[in-house]
């Protein structure tokens, strides 16, 4: 079981935040489920996942998505997901 914290930031202030718990056993499945949950919850498209996000998640248990990681225009500076526990 993995617990994620997702938040949207603009000018370093949290605009929205939510937690999500995944019961998926595989990390990749849990991350996909997490991204789909936050995309629906925050009414946005799911961001593109790049190798830098994999590195961030491995090193810091956190991935930061900037506006360039979205196909459509977004009105925030960052979207972050962080693993809270496992």
The share of the chain scoring above pLDDT 70, in percent, equals: 98
* Arithmetic mean of pLDDT, 24-41: 94
pLDDT band at 47 (very low <50, low <70, confident <90, very high): very high
Strands of the 13-22 sheet, one edge to the other: 13-22, 2-10, 78-85, 62-65
Where are the alpha helices (H) located in the chain, listed in sequence order?
27-41, 51-60
Rounded to two decimals, the pTM is 0.91
pLDDT of 86 strictly over 90:
no
For residue range 5-15, list pLDDT tens digits in order.
999 999 999 99
Q: How many whole angstroms separate alpha carbon 60 and alpha carbon 50?
A: 15
Domain residue extents for the chain: 2-85
pLDDT band at residue 1 under the 50/70/90 scheme: confident
């Amino acid at each position: 079981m993995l617990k994620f914290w997702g938040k949207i930031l603009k000018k370093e202030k949290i605009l929205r935040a939510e937690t999500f718990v995944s019961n998926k056993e595989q990390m990749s499945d849990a991350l996909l489920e997490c991204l789909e949950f936050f995309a629906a919850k925050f009414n946005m498209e799911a961001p593109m996942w790049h190798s830098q996000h994999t590195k961030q998640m491995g090193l810091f248990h956190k991935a930061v998505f900037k506006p360039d990681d979205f196909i459509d225009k977004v009105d925030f500076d960052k979207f972050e997901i962080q693993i809270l526990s496992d």
